[in-house]
């Protein structure tokens, strides 16, 4: 049930390998997110899937057939970017119909399909507006509507919400997730924002330096990071050396005690109130990194420069 198979794909630009041998199976109908820091090769990978770049070696299959050098328009996919280019002189409805018109689809069908796409993206009431009369979020909805009106099998989205402010981004994340559920098509979503990836995806592919670090559900990746890179990139983590091993403990799993418990004694350096949680920074003797602990504010009667002990349950340790 794999719609896309990527097998040992490499991409070089002028002898510079930006994708190292990379293999990945993408399931039909899933919301898959490619997550990683800027420059790790996310866009390059997406552009190869879409057909705008050809792999230097390796194979990309779509529905079982090799598509390495099949042009984008023959792939039944659509790509949405952060910097969408809408036609400034056309209203919302015409912008959405345009691609269908170019394909020679009848005006009646153009209208029916644009109607449906506007409904799905909550644009119906703005149908007669020109792009400059829309907010950033509404413009991005038009870009998405323009892509889904083609009924693609796969929708590729390259940091589509990157230019929007926090609140709008949160709203559109939920809308996109709902849209994907409703349409049942495969979404391949690129972001460098781990929170965005965690909240939207069925599976996440964590990339670093042209390679896959881990593939898994948000929960698997959070609870069982496969490498220190993943453990630090997805949420926050604390590291401790124990019996020649490096272990990671999440900030919400560390308990603070004002009376002596265990062997980690420290000093509270800072307490920050971050929304629903207090974030407490503790310096531990003999450990080089400051430990971060999350606590519910109402549990907390701690103060700066106080001496405390930290401990955690064995089951909350992850060995790196």
Binding site for ligand ADP (CB under 6 A): 13, 18, 36, 38-44
Shortest distance in whole angstroms from residue 58 CB to ligand ADP: 16
Residue 110 touches which member of Mg ion, ligand ADP, none, C-beta under 5-8 Å by kind: none
Of 39 and 260, the one with the shorter C-beta distance to Mg ion is 39
CB of 216 to ligand ADP, least distance (A): 19
Task: Tell the smallest beta-carbon distance from residue 11 to ligand ADP (Å).
Answer: 8
Which residues, 6 or more positions from 68, have their beta carbon under 8 angstroms from its beta carbon?
54, 55, 59, 60
Which CB atom, from 19 or from 231, has the smaller least distance to ligand ADP? 19
The interface partner of residue 40, options being ligand ADP, Mg ion, none and the CB cut-off 5 to 8 Å by kind, is ligand ADP
Q: How big is the chain by its Cα radius of gyration, in Å?
A: 24
**Distance of closest approach, residue 117 Cβ to ligand ADP, in angstroms:** 27
Nearer to ligand ADP, 47 or 255 (CB): 47
Instruction: List contacts with Mg ion (CB under 5 A).
Output: 43
Taking the least distance from each CB to Mg ion, the nearer of 43 and 78 is: 43
**Going by C-beta distance under 8 Å and a sequence separation of 6 or more, which residues neighbour residue 78?**
147, 148, 150, 152, 154, 155, 156
Are the beta carbons of 284 and 266 closer than 8 angstroms? yes
Question: What does 105 bind: Mg ion, ligand ADP, none (CB cut-off 5 to 8 Å by kind)?
Answer: none
> In sequence order, which residues have a C-beta less than 8 Å from that of residue 149 and are 6 or more positions away?
96, 97, 99, 100, 113, 114, 116, 117
Closest to 169 in 3D by CA, of 195, 134, 201: 195
Q: Please give the Cα distance from 185 to 48 (Å, whole number).
A: 19
Minimum CB distance to Mg ion, residue 308 (Å): 42
Q: Which does 75 bind (CB under 5 to 8 A by kind): ligand ADP, Mg ion, none?
A: none
The residue among 52 and 87 lying less far from ligand ADP, judged by its C-beta, is 52
Considering the complex, state which of residue 40 and residue 310 has its C-beta at the smaller distance from ligand ADP: 40
When CB distances are held under 5 to 8 angstroms depending on the partner's kind, the choice from Mg ion, ligand ADP, none that residue 38 binds is ligand ADP
Q: Which residue is nearest to Mg ion (CB)?
A: 43
Which residues make Cβ contacts (< 8 Å) with residue 258, sequence separation at least 6? Answer: 302, 306, 308, 309
Select the binding partner of residue 259 from Mg ion, ligand ADP, none (C-beta < 5 to 8 A, by kind).
none
Give the count of alpha carbons within 13 A of 302, CB side only.
32
């Amino acid at each position: 049930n794999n719609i896309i198979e990527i097998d040992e794909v490499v991409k070089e630009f002028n002898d510079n390998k930006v994708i190292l041998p990379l293999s990945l199976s993408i399931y039909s109908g899933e919301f898959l997110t490619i997550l990683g820091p800027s420059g790790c090769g996310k866009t390059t990978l997406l552009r190869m899937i879409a057909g705008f770049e050809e792999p230097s070696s390796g194979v990309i299959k779509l529905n079982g057939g090799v598509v390495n050098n099949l042009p984008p328009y023959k792939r039944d996919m659509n790509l949405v970017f952060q910097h969408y280019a809408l036609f400034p002189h056309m209203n919302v409805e015409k912008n959405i119909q345009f691609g269908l018109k170019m394909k020679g689809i009848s005006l009646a069908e153009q209208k029916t399909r644009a109607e449906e796409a506007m409904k799905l993206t909550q644009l119906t009431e703005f149908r007669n507006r020109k792009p400059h009369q829309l907010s950033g979020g509404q413009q991005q909805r038009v870009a998405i509507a323009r892509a889904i009106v083609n009924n693609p099998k796969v929708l590729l989205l390259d940091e589509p919400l990157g230019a929007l402010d926090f609140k709008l981004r949160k709203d559109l994340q939920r809308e996109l997730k709902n849209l994907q559920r409703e349409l049942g098509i495969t979404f391949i979503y690129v972001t460098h924002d781990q929170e965005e990836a965690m909240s939207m995806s069925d599976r996440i592919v964590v990339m670093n330096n042209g390679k896959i670090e881990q593939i898994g559900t948000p929960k698997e990746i959070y609870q069982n990071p496969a490498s220190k890179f993943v453990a630090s990139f997805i949420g926050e983590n604390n590291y401790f050396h124990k019996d020649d091993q490096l272990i990671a403990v999440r900030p919400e799993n560390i308990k603070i005690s004002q009376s002596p418990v265990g062997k980690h004694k420290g000093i509270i350096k800072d307490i920050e109130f971050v929304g629903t949680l207090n974030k407490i920074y503790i310096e531990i003797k003999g450990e080089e990194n400051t430990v971060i602990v999350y606590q519910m504010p109402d549990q907390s009667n701690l103060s700066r420069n106080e001496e405390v002990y930290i401990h955690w349950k064995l089951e909350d340790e992850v060995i790196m």
